[in-house]
Amino acid sequence: MCEMMIVALKKNRIVKKIYSRTMDFMKAYFPKSRAKVAYFIAYGNICNLKKPSTFSEKLLWLSLHTYQNNELIMKLSDKYLVREYVIEKVGEDVLNELYGVWESPEDIVLQELPESFVLKASQGCQTNLFCSNKKSLDQEEMESLVLAWKSKQFFYDKMMSRIGGVPVKNLRKYYICEKFLSQKGEKFPIDYKIYCFNGKPKAILVIGGRFSEKAGVFMTTEWTYLSALNNNYSTPDKMFDKPISLSKMIEISKKLSGPFPFVRIDLYEIDGEPIFGEMTFFPNGCINMQETNVDGISMGDLLDISEDMRAASSRGKLDDK
C-alpha cells in the first residue's frame, strides 16, 4: 500500500514540484537526511549508510564523506575550471573550442557570438543554451534565459559549498561559450558516458536523441551490448555504431578517472575524434541513476569504497545513523 501511494504521488505534478524544491533545500542544508528520504522514496527501502552495498548507497556515502570538503571535486565539477585538469592529464586536443568566458551574464553580447554556439553556466545543472542559429534568438531572450539560471543555482551553491568546503561567497561563477558540436546524421551528438571505478572504465552509457526522443543502452568497453535503460529512455531502433575513437575514449577515461573511487567521464565523438564533455561525480543526485551489471557483477559490487571507509573511520568521521 505504501509503495502504491508513493507511485501515485510521484505522478502528481504539484507534488513533484514540491518534492523537488524540498529535496533541493535538504540537499543544501541537511544532505544526510535528504539522502535517506530520497533513497526511501526512490527504492522503498531504508538507506544503509553505515554499511552501504548498493550503487546508490555507495555513491551517497562518497558524496557525504570522501567527496565532502574536497576542493578538487569542486574544481572538476565546474565546466570551465575542469579544462585545466583535462589539459594536464590528456592534453588540450580533446577540449571543445572555447569562444569566450565571462563572469557576468550581462557582459555577453549576442552580436559578438558566432552563428552557432553553446552557452553554459560553469556551475549548476540544466544551465545550457544550445543555439544552432543565432538568428532565431535575440539579445533580450538570451539575457532572460541566462539570468534565470541564477535563481536555479541558489540551492546548488549551498550544496556545493558543503561538498567542496568553500564559502558560497567564494564560489566564482563563469559563463562560457563553446563551439556547437554537430555530428552527421544527428541533431545533437551522441553522448558516451563512461562509468569508471577506481580508474578503470567498466561500462558505457550511450544516449542519442538527447533533447527529443531519448534512446539509449549500456555497452561494454569492447562495444558489446549490456542492457537497456530505465525511466524515460526508449530502446534505439538500431544499435549505435561503434565510435571510431573508442580506444582513445577508454584511454582518456582511465587518465581522468584515476584518483577517484567513481566518476563518469562524458565524451562526444566529432569527425572521428573524442571531445570532452564533463566529469560527473553525482549522477542524478546519486538516486535512480542508470546502472547495469558488467560480467554478472552489479555496479554496487564494482564500486569498492572499503579503503575510503577505513580512512573516514580513522579520522573519526563516521556517523551514519
If you search the block for the grid coordinates 541558489, which residue do you land on? 154
Give tens-digit pLDDT for 160-204: 545 444 444 455 778 999 999 987 766 778 999 999 999 999 999
Residue type present at position 169: K
In this structure, the answer to whether residues 84 and 172 fall within a common structural domain is yes
Residue 146 exposed, middle or buried by CB count within 10 Å (0-12, 13-18, 19+): buried
Q: What percent of the chain has pLDDT over 90?
A: 47
Total tally of structural domains belonging to the chain: 3
- Answer whether residue 46 is part of any domain: yes
> Can you tell me the distance from the alpha carbon of 262 to that of 258, in angstroms, rounded to the nearest whole number?
9
- In sequence order, what DSSP letters do the residues of 117-142 get, joined into one string? EEEEESSSSS-EEEES-GGG--HHHH
At residue 129, φ and ψ (nearest 5 deg) are -120, 110
Mean pLDDT in the chain? Answer: 84
Residue type present at position 111: Q
> Can you tell me the distance from the alpha carbon of 119 to that of 106, in angstroms, rounded to the nearest whole number?
13
Domain boundary among 156, 178, 200: 178
Comparison of pLDDT for 38 and 194, the residue scoring more: 194
Q: Cα–Cα distances in Å, from 214 out to 198, 219, 315?
A: 29, 16, 44
Q: Provide the residue range defining the domain that includes 28.
A: 2-70+306-314
> At 243, is the secondary structure helix, strand, or coil?
coil
Comparison of pLDDT for 197 and 235, the residue scoring more: 197
**Three cell numbers, residue 301:** 559490487
